[in-house]
Structure 1
Amino acid sequence: MDFGSITEFLRNKTIFVTGATGFIAKILLEKILRIQPNVKKMYLLIRAKDAKVANVRLRDEVLSKELFDVLRKKCGANFESFISEKITPVAGDASYGNLGLTDDELNAMYNDIDIIISVAATTKFDERYDVALGVNTLGAKHVVNFAKKCTKIQLLIHVSTAYVCGEKAGLISEKPYAMGETLNGVGGLDIYSEKMLAAQFLCNLKAQGLPEKEIRQRMKNLGNQRAKLYGWPNTYVFTKAMGEMLVGQQRGNLPVVIMRPTIVCSTLKEPFPGWVEGCRTIDSVAVMYGKGSLSLFPADGSSVLDLIPADMFVNSMIVAMKAHANQPNLTIFQVGSSYRNPVTFKELHGFHFHYFSDNPWSDREGNPVKVWKGLVLSNILIFQIILYLVRFVVQMISIFASKTGCGDIQDIMFDFDKKLNIAMKLVNLYKPYLFFNGIFADTNTEMLLIAAGENGLDEDVFNFNPLSINWKDYFINVHIPAIVKYLF
């Protein structure tokens, strides 16, 4: 692998990023522009009906974020002109065969692009099946086909997820998926048949004249049913796994790197510690706990939650980009921490209790919310029984209050019932990860890190070594304060 100077490698490169308004893509964009202002151009695929809307989304959903304050300060008065020179937003959609681009845009980009980084995805666990198939599965194929037409292409980086493994236990290796491979051995998985099934199912629902809300829910249910039929716990990881299959089948001799991050959380260091956006996998639990809405935790306390700060994941992508450019192979990198620097659910629970005990959140009336140590239940069935019993009692009190005219009590019970309902939904959604017993081997990632270090990699600029993370310090001084700042 050739490392040399990574920043020099980026000089005069034209890079195409899909999913440009997403969390990871924004951090990647900011990083490249900050460390190598002489990058030639960055095309950003933004889902929009036309160029005007794409530009508005770029301004409002990307450049206006606090994330870009360091770069804005570095550029000073030249920030706007610098952005105009380096960034070209293009209106399109990865779920379309030509990415939704015009012929003129396609021809210009085919002759200009050196690197493609495909981040476009819908990350909702329970996304409607037709949408998830379009973006996560077929979108991957469309980007590969686009890349193969680029005359100067050096590498395609496809961002997947480590959890395409489903609920496997033990050591999980960095191996590709064969076309039609399933997790439970059930045969008959055919991606194009899945596409037709989803389209026909949707057509039938519309023919029945069902309201849009009902159609949306039934399409979500279909995705989860198809995922579980073949051994995956939800629509998201199922459609991402099928996306990987298509990348492997369609790439030919195209150099491809598949990045499989674990649970991506707030930045550790760059461009500043603790930037986060959106309520990510573990953060919804932190929000509910900090607000006093959650005191029962269904999880195996000894289970390892595999986390990686977002800036470290972006660093691994950039280093892999330099190492694998023009190498006609498919390489998979699992980027996480469970193998070399694990943190358990019990430890995470302790960090949250410690933080919110010392820094209680204040409710609407300005009263500090007291958090309790809580009870960690390693048996999901016991947890569900307790929740159902509590909810039954709450509903009985609410009915009694209604009959006796106690409106205040009824309002309190109604609010409490809403919180219970949210908790139950969260538990059902995240259950596969609260009791996850797998450890992600990161052999390729470790080899990349070692090789980069031996070749003089600047670890301050491109650090992605999970051993460098002090989890207690990160959670108490970086991550949880960021959750409170951005999400509460």
Structure 2
Amino acid sequence: MYIGNILQHTQSLYSLQYPRYTCGGKRGFASADSDFARAMLSSAMIILGQHHLLHFIEVALWLELERLILYFRVFAQTVDGVAVGYAKGKLKHFPFNPKLTVDVIPADMVINALIMAMVEYANRSTTSEIIYHVGSSLRNPFKFSNFQELSIRYFAQNPLIDKEGKPIKVGKIKAFRSMATFRIYMVIRYSLPLKVFHLAINTVLFQKPYKDKYTAHYRNLKRGMRLAELYEPYVFFKGIFDDTNSEKLQIAARETCSEADAFNFDPTSVSWEAYMMDVHFPGLVKYVLK
């Protein structure tokens, strides 16, 4: 998955000046001073591509025609740390609202949308600006409760194996519907006992193994809180993004480009249950948890 703030969501702002071309491969070159088209393509959280595992993506497309170079850089940060922590049995509490919709999209669909936007603008004769949002929250919503239910089902049926060769049991994650309640719980359940343990180490228990245990627990606590703070703007976000322009782009591409079906980015074509159970989680286990 991909997660980022609203600026990262609009990461693919680009200003392009390039020769016209068609899907069929025929090219009609434009002068370096001709049409100038700009488009902003914003994406939802990017999840593993339907055909490729994409955690960190850096796509560079270089076209050098009449001194023109086109460079695309798509930077994706992974949010599968949550799924990994859950699968390993380490994540049992997390702040999120199960009823809210998470705006997600397979990574390869974002790349497909980029390519189709290039084709569309290459064939336009007028200068224009447009925003294409590639996401699923409007036409094919996927809720946090869906992600939780599918995670439980998959890793209960396909548990990871611990260092001792035993299957790791997973259960339902306790959801905290506000960061305030989550912080209070973490202080009472972990921070205070850890401080007492630290005090005991410094006054009574001077053995190194105890100090090592404290250090490990302290680091895990800090890591967990940092992860929760990182996700806070997104797990409580109530917005729904309008992808009407992307839908129009898909329709136009199918009418003008014979290869458009190979570059599908229609979110309604995704079955979230099948995708998560047959693609996303298996890919996570195979490539991330190997």
- Shorter-normalised TM range: 0.7 to 0.9
User: 2:173 corresponds to which residue?
Assistant: 374
Residue matched to 1:308: 105
Letter in 1 for 2:140: N
Q: Is the 8 A contact 2:42 2:134 kept in 1?
A: yes
Name the SS of the counterpart of 2:101 in structure 1. coil
Task: Give the 3-state SS of the residue equivalent to 1:450 in structure 2.
Answer: helix
Hey, what's the Cα distance between the residues in 1 that align with 2:199 and 2:162?
27
**Secondary structure at 2:89 match in 1:** coil
Shift in CA distance, 457/305, structure 1 to aligned 2, threshold 3 Å: farther
Q: CA deviation at 1:454?
A: 4.1
Q: CA deviation at 1:311?
A: 1.1
Q: Which of these residues, 241, 252, 255, is aligned with residue 451 of structure 1?
A: 252
Are positions 1:392 and 2:192 aligned together?
A: yes
CA contact (8 A) 1:261 1:334 kept: yes
Q: Which AA in structure 2 matches 1:426?
A: L
Q: Which whole-Å CA distance do the structure 2 matches of 1:334 and 1:263 have between them?
A: 11
Residues 276, 342 of structure 1: alpha-carbon distance in 2 compared, 3 angstrom cutoff: same
Which residue of structure 2 aligns with residue 461 of structure 1? 262
1:461 positional shift: 1.1
What secondary structure sits across from 2:133 in the alignment?
Answer: strand
What are the superposed Cα offsets for residues 34-91 of structure 1, whole Å, 9 maximum, x if unpaired?
Answer: xxxxxxxxxxxxxxxxxxxxxxxxxxxxxxxxxxxxxxxxxxxxxxxxxxxxxxxxxx
Tell me the distance in 2 between the aligned counterparts of 1:332 and 1:432: 22
Which of 112, 124, 136 is 1:337 aligned to?
136
Alpha-carbon spacing, 1:300–1:337, altered in 2? closer, same or farther (3 Å): same
Q: Distance in 2 between matches of 1:254 and 1:432?
A: 36
Contact 1:297/1:377 (8 A) holds in 2: yes
Relative to structure 1, the CA distance from residue 406 to residue 290 in structure 2 (aligned partners, 3 Å threshold; closer, same or farther) is farther
Name the counterpart of 1:264.
46
1:369 to partner: Cα distance = 2.1
Q: Is the 8 A contact 2:55 2:78 kept in 1?
A: no
Matched, 1:432 2:253: no
Whether the 8 Å CA contact 1:266–1:309 is kept in 2: the answer is yes
The residue identity in structure 1 corresponding to 2:53 is: W
2:54 maps to 1:276: yes
Cross-structure match for 1:356: 155
Cα distance in 2 for residues equivalent to 1:314 and 1:439: 21
What residue number does 1:287 align with?
Answer: 84
Query: 3-state SS of the aligned residue for 1:394?
Result: helix
Task: Give the Cα–Cα distance (whole angstroms) in 2 for the partners of residues 373 and 417 of structure 1.
Answer: 24
Note the residue ranges of structure 1 that are not aligned, 5 or more in a row: 1-22, 25-122, 126-131, 156-251
Residues 6-155 of structure 1: pairs in structure 2 closer than 5 A: 144=15, 152-154=18-20
Structure 2 CA distance for partners of 1:393 and 1:283, relative to 1, 3 Å: same
| Secondary structure at the counterpart of residue 324 of structure 1 | helix
Q: Which amino acid aligns with 1:396?
A: V
Matching residue within 32, 37, 42 for 1:255 = 37
Q: What CA distance in whole angstroms lies between the structure 1 residues aligned with 2:213 and 2:165?
A: 18
Q: Name the CA distance, whole Å, in 2 between partners of 1:408 and 1:368.
A: 27
The answer to whether the Cα contact below 8 Å between 2:254 and 2:261 also exists between their aligned partners in 1 is no
Rounded Cα–Cα distance in structure 2 between residues aligned with 1:476 and 1:408: 41
Structure 2: which amino acid aligns with 1:285? Answer: V
CA contact (8 A) 1:258 1:331 kept: yes
Cα deviation, residue 253, structure 1: 6.1
Alpha-carbon distance, 1:315 to partner: 1.3
In the alignment, the residues of structure 2 paired with residue 306 and residue 475 of structure 1 have an alpha-carbon distance, to the nearest angstrom, of 15
When the two chains are superposed, the root-mean-square deviation of aligned CA atoms in Å is 3.0
- Judge conservation of contact 2:253–2:260 (CA < 8 Å) in 1: no
2:112 alignment partner AA: N
Cα pair 2:176 2:182 within 8 Å, conserved:
yes
Q: Distance in 2 between matches of 1:312 and 1:320?
A: 12
Gaps of 5+ in 2: 22-33, 57-75
CA contact under 8 A between 1:276 and 1:486: conserved in structure 2?
A: no
- Considering Cα pairs closer than 8 Å and 6+ residues apart, tell me whether 1 or 2 has the greater RCO: 2
Count of residue pairs the alignment pairs up: 250
Per the TM alignment, residue 292 of structure 1 is displaced from its structure 2 partner at its CA by 1.7
Per-residue CA deviation, residues 433-488 of structure 1 (Å, 9 max, x unaligned), is 00010001011111112233345655651211111111111112211122222223
Looking at structure 2, the residues matched to 417 and 331 of structure 1 have their Cα atoms a distance apart, in angstroms, of 48
Hey, what does 2:276 align to over in structure 1? 475
Aligned to 1:37: none
Cα deviation digits, residues 230-259 of structure 1 (max 9, x gap): xxxxxxxxxxxxxxxxxxxxxx96211211
Work out which of the residue numbers 297, 304, 324 in structure 1 matches 2:94. Answer: 297
In 1, the alpha carbon distance for the partners of 2:236 and 2:42 equals: 20
Q: Matched residues, percent identical?
A: 32
Change (3 A) 1:469 1:457: farther
> What is the TM-score of this pair, normalised by structure 2?
0.76
